[in-house]
Chains A and B, each alone.
Chain A
Amino acid sequence: MWSWVAHRITGVTLFFFLFAHVIDTAMVRVSPEAYNVAVETYKNPIVGLMEVGLVGAVLFHAFNGIRIILVDFWWKGPRYQRQLTWGVLGIFVVLMVPFVIRHLSNVFGH
């Protein structure tokens, strides 16, 4: 249940971010300066922290999505529901911890 709620919230979040992200990238058609100004906002520490949240949303949604697909299509999927959920959380932590360290040192170390 909670994973269904989280899947929904992360999906909606990513959709709205993608809308904004296509527009900021479109600045490359205006001028190099316009694009550089747009991406400069992403290097700000507050937005840098929000990026951690966005990458977290992607990783959770992606691996929870694979879990949903396995439960739907793999004949043993429903039987291993519980293990699959722990697998999603495990992969999430294993990928998030190094990413957070690296990303925040890029954001705050420059």
Chain B
Amino acid sequence: MSLTSIPKPRSTYKAGRSNNFEMNSWLFMRGSGLLLVVLVIGHLFVNLWQGDGIQQIDFAFVAGKWASPFWQIWDLAMLWLAMLHGMNGLRTIINDYASRGGTKFTLKTLLYFATFVTVVLGTLVIFTFDPCIDPASTLEVCTNR
């Protein structure tokens, strides 16, 4: 038997049709990753490499950094991007390893809850930070007013 024409496939699958959510989150992992290289390595450079490194970290150090909107925005962007990037990465890992629907649901609920709490807490801390929370503070910003 010889076929002179190949019949049209009955499948309605279109190559261009893709899962937009997974595609967007794949892209987000790469975009946020690139930004995080700068944000995280810059954060480590200023806090752990410059000056006395880990020994310099105390309340006054934080007050000095968050006196500037530059570091507030830096830390805010780092918090949000790292948490969402990490959350999305963990979502993939849960999808890979948790086989039972119930386990998957429980782990993801826990993941989204922990992410939400951490992002909200961190954001509030950055925006409501008060260098003079201690009325007896001897920091320069507090004694000069």
Contacts and interface: CB of A to CB of B under 8 A. Distances in A.
B33 A19 contact: no
A11 B134 CA distance: 37
A19 B83 CA distance: 8
The interface centre, meaning the residue of B59, B83, B87, B124 with most chain A CB atoms within 10 A of its CB, is: B59
B122 interface: yes
Grouping DSSP codes into helix (H, G, I), strand (E, B) and loop, the B interface class, with mixed when no group exceeds half, is helix
Contacts of B41: 58-59, 62
B55 A32 contact: no
Given A62-B37, A106-B52, A22 B121 contact: yes
Nearest to A107: B54
Nearest to B139: A32
A61 to B, nearest CB: 9
A55 B128 CA distance: 29
A18 B118 contact: yes
A102 B89 CA distance: 32
A99 interface: yes
B128 A12 contact: no
Nearest to A72: B30
B9 to A, nearest CB: 30
Interface in B42-85: 44, 48-49, 52-55, 57-60, 62, 79, 82-83
Contact of A28 (B44, B48, B55, B59): B59
A29 B128 contact: yes
Interface of A: 8, 11-12, 14-15, 18-19, 22-23, 25-26, 28-29, 31-33, 35-36, 39, 42-43, 48, 51, 55, 58-59, 62, 65-66, 68-69, 72-73, 99, 102-103, 106-107, 110
22 contacts: A12-B89, A15-B90, A25-B62, A28-B125, A29-B124, A33-B134, A35-B58, A35-B59, A36-B58, A36-B59, A39-B58, A43-B54, A51-B48, A51-B54, A55-B48, A62-B33, A62-B40, A69-B33, A99-B49, A102-B49, A106-B54, A110-B52
Interface of B: 30, 33-34, 36-37, 40-41, 44, 48-49, 52-55, 57-60, 62, 79, 82-83, 86-87, 89-90, 93, 114, 118, 121-122, 124-125, 128-130, 133-134, 137
